[in-house]
Every structure is written in C-alpha cells, then in structure tokens.
Chain A
Amino acid sequence: MQSTIPPTETGREALRLFKENRGPLAMLLALILFPFFVALLDGQGPTAVLNNEIGNARFLQGLLIEIFILAIYALSYDLILGITGLLSFGHAMFFAVGAYLTGIAFKSFGWGVGPTLAAVIVAGIVQALLFGLVLPRVKGITFALVTLGFASVFEIIVKSNEMVAYTGADVGLQGVVVPAAWLNTSNERFRLYLIVLFFTFFVYLVYRRFVDSPTGRVCIATRENEGRAQMLGYNTFYFKLTALILSSITAAMAGFFHTVHQPIVSPAVAGLGWTVAALLMILMGGIGTLSGALVGAAIFRLLQFYLERWFGGNATFLIGLVYVLLVMFVPYGVVGTWQARRLDIQRGRERLLRLLHLRP
C-alpha cells in the first residue's frame, strides 16, 4: 500500500511534519546559533567557537550541555511519572548506573566509546527489568518506596569502601579520561555541544512520537485509570514495563553524557536528592507535558547556578522560596500553566497591543 502514495503526497506529509514541529525546530536552530551569537557579542569572531577559544561562548556551551543532560534525565522521569503515572523514588539509580558504568569502563577497563555505549544501554534495560520484577507486586506509594530501596542499596554499594578501587567511595569517581579525542569536552566543546543538543532533540522527538503512538495512549490510560485500562483488555504491566525500559535507557544515556562532559562522578547522583531534582524539574516545567521537562531542567540549573553566583550561601534558601512561590503562583508548572491559560494570555497580549495603539 505504501508504494501507491504519489511523491507529491510524501512532500505534503513532510511539509505537515515540518509545520507541526516548527517550534522545536526553531529552538534547535537558535541553540545551534547561540554560541556564535555570544561570541560575536563578546567581540570574538564566529571562528572562536570552532577554534574552542576561552570565553563566554565556551563557558555558556558548558552550562548548556549540563542543562541538556539534565533535560534528557528529566524527560526520562516525565515519561514514567507524568505519562505513565508510576511514582518512582529510585530514578537516580537509572542515571547513576549510566554515569558510573561509563566512568568505570573508561577508567578501569579502558573500553572505547562504542562498547561502553552498548554496555550502558544493556545496563539500562537490565535495571528497568529489575524494577519490572516488583512492578506487578506493589503499587502507588509502595512502589515508590521499593524503588527507593533499590536505589539506596545501589548508592550504598557505590559509597562502600569495598568498591573503592572502582567507584572512589565517598569522594566519587575522579580523573576519568574519555578515550576518544573527538568527544573531549575541553578540546572539542562545540562538537560535544552539538552532539548532546541533537541527542536531546532526538529523545524529545522520540518521546513525542511514543506518547502519540497507541502504546503511549495506553500508558496515559494507565495513568488516568489503571483498572479501566485493564477492563478494556490491555495488560497494563507490559505497557508500564515498556515505558520503564525506554525511560531507563534514556536516563542511562544522560548519565553517559554526564561522565563524558564532567569527568567526575559524585556519589550524589545516586542519592535520593538526584531523584528529587528530576521531580522538581518536571514539576517546575509542567508534569506530563514533555516540553515542560526541558523548560524545567533549564530553570533548575540556571536558578541553581545564578543564585549561587549572586547570593552565595543564601542560595538554597532562595531556591526553596522559589519552589514555594512557583507552587502557589504557577500552579501547573511553566508549560502546564501556559497551556491551561493560553487563551487568557493571548487576550492579554491583544489588549496590550491595543493599549499601545499597535492594533485597532
């Protein structure tokens, strides 16, 4: 049947796809051009970005890479919590396994990038299956506690003195050397920037596609009312497991990039605090919206970075205050609230334009 579609139809289809994804594509283009723009503002030529010269452009690329990694991680949490409705307190383990595995493979085993990536993906599948083992047995908050248990055990193994040769125990994994020169964050930052950016974009598109697919629809149905989804004949277990596996692989990949970008893995990424970070990111952005996870990751990292830079020791207090204020005044996260109030905002803009006599 596929072959009978005339080529013009394919063209129209491509145009439709393009139109639908105009926002993300514009964002992607803007982010590709962003370092050049900063370099121009700084008085450096555009070649400064390509030549990896020290400056604001290079520094902001580093910050953005961190945000992209957080965004991938937050997306993976949004898939299981926001879309599928599984509250897991062990999500940090998904990320930390990727990060530690990459570090250990590079440092202790001397593996190349390819085998390491393969190992990370396999590890992602395995840990999702581990969570899947308890999935049919426990539900709701009990599932959250069991996953917290798994993650705590992993954290304790990572921190224990028996594993110090591999994990560095409390100090964390230090001095990881990325074996591939083309992936080196200090020499080839713009390349890494593009790679992580495109990977983030790719994950976002895959997730959007997943949510729109029949499987994703069943996942949403499971979130809304699991009993009813089962009544309709869906074995919700398999759908939840699919979401878990996809999410786990993504989070492990985020961990992989984390180690590549920052050759230090702190045991903090295995703790409950890191799961809470993911939770906060998607709550700030808007739970279950996917694009909210990206926005939330940006807010999270920028808040942390700039508040610490400007206020030093008082930063944590202010961050706490921002959370409370966000909950009170941006009730469904940035993207969620925007979606809910889009009409109001549009009307407000029209009124503003009329007040300024820009529109009759």
Chain B
Amino acid sequence: MLSVQNVTAGYEQSVVLENVSINAQKGAVTAVLGRNGVGKTTLIKSIIGLIKPMAGKIEWEDEDITSLPPEERVRKGIGYVPQGREIFSTLTVEENLLLGFEALSKKVNPAQILAEIYELFPILKEMLHRKGGDLSGGQQQQLAIARALIGQPKLLLLDEPMEGIQPSIVQLIRDVIVKIAKEKMVGIVLVEHSLDLAFSCADYFYIFDRGTVVAQGRVSETNMNDIQQFLTV
C-alpha cells in the first residue's frame, strides 16, 4: 500500500537517510526501530511530505506521491501524528479535533466520527473546552492521535507516540493502535525506540542505523535477542 523506494533525504547539505526502502500494509502495524538520530523522524517526514527526498520515490496506492505537498497526501488518506504532538496550544481541544475534519473532502457525519473518537479516548470528551496547551503530555498525545484519526486515514504515521508518557496511557495508546489496525484495517507505521513495546503490537519491523535499514522482518518469526545488538547504546 505504501512503498518507499530507495529514498535519500536530509536537511540542507547533510544526508540523514540513505537509499531507504520500506513497505507498509493495510491492517498491519509496521514498526520502525532504531537509536536516536538514525533517521526515523526524517523517514516519517518524507512520507508525509514535510521533507522533499533528494532521490528515490514514494508510492501510495500505486500512485507516485513524491512531489505532492503534505495537504494532498493527507487528503489521499495518510494521517500523521508528529513527534512532540504539535497540538495547537491556544486552540481548544474541540477546535483541535474539528481541524481533523479538514482531511475529509466528502460530506461526512461529524457526530458519528466524534462519538467513535470519544469511545477510544474518553478523557477528550471531558476536556473539550480546555486549551490544547493546558493538557498534560499524555492527554495531548491522545488528542494528536484522535485528531489524525478523525480524518479517517488508511495509513497512520505515528512518530514516537509513547515517548515520555505515563505507563497507563502507553497501554491505552498501544491498545488503540492494535484496535484500529485490526478492526478498521488501517495501516500503521510506528516509530519507536523501545523494542519490547514495538514487538508487543507490531507485525513487521525495520531497524535503522546510521540512515539505512540494517534489519527487517516479521515480528512473529524473529527472536528479539538477535536484533537487540542494533538498539543498545
């Protein structure tokens, strides 16, 4: 469904990703693992369109989207939850959620979509009129995921969604990820640096080191101990 082919990308003069190819499938969780600074976020930003690759091609549903701006990729069904959440801090929770509908061009029933979202993240319903910036980190993370899900994405890019969040919410977010992948057949690209966490919910994995893929495979066929070496600092 998503196919990143031989992408080289970076910032200004420095190349961060070199000749990277990955695939992500519908209804499956694809984990992207690696130490800090190996290019995981650069990969996600290239997929959503915030970074223009210097070489290579990104295909989405058999269409070349390499040169499309982010808004058009989002309208084609790619959702994005950035590292650091990027909630609109002076807008209310409700306004942040309503902005999620921008991704949908056709007429939808907002009430029904919002009801589903509140079921996944009950805390948001209680916080509707609070400013996004007043929420705790975990609440902001739920809001960011909810905002992306409202756009009914077919592929969801999650950049370290469990980073710096209390364990009970990590559990909640993990469950939501598995649920939307299995029940709504959403493809998920999950950037993580905790191997345990990634392996507890992913179907496929790619391990990055120094800007390239150094290991990949099915989670069910891989022994965690064999790949530990790529992740220890």
Query: Do A and B bind?
Result: no
